[in-house]
Amino acid sequence: MFKYLKTKFFIVVMSFFVIFSSWGGDTIAVPNEKFDKDKFRSVLREYVFTTYKGEKGVHIESALSALGALSGFALQQGIREELIKKQGKPENKMFTIIKTKNGDKYYFGSIFDQPLYDTRKGKISVWAIIAGGAQKAGASSLPNINNLAKLNTQAVGSKNYGKLNISKKHQPKHHPIEAIKIHWGLTEKLLKAKGGNPLMWSWEIALVAQDLIILGKQAIQPSLAAQIVMEPAISMSKIDPNLIFKN
- Nearest-5° angle of CA 196, CA 200, CA 201? 90
Q: Which helix (H) or strand (E) holds 97?
A: strand 96-99
**CA–CA separation, 169 vs 172, rounded Å?**
9
Give the residue extent of every domain in the chain: 4-245
Is the pLDDT at 2 greater than 70? The verdict is no
Question: What is the spatial distance between Cα 239 and Cα 229, in angstroms, rounded to a whole number?
Answer: 16
pTM as predicted = 0.87
Q: Is 155 helix (H, G, I), strand (E, B) or coil?
A: coil
Does residue 52 have a pLDDT over 90?
yes
pLDDT tens digits for 120-138?
A: 888 999 999 999 999 999 9
DSSP β-ladder status, 57-59 and 53-54: antiparallel
Instruction: Mention every residue, 6+ apart, whose C-beta is less than 8 A from residue 230.
Output: 68, 126, 127, 130, 143, 145, 148
pLDDT of 209 higher than 80: yes
* Alpha-carbon span 14 to 194, nearest angstrom: 14
What share of the chain in percent tops pLDDT 90?
75
Tell me the angle at which helices 126-136 and 222-236 cross, rounded to the nearest 10 degrees: 170
The beta strand positions in the chain, using DSSP E, are 4-5, 13-14, 17-22, 25-28, 53-54, 57-59, 96-99, 105-108
Q: What is the mean pLDDT of residues 25-48?
A: 67
Say whether pLDDT at 67 is over 80: yes
User: Which percentage of the chain shows pLDDT scores above 70?
Assistant: 85
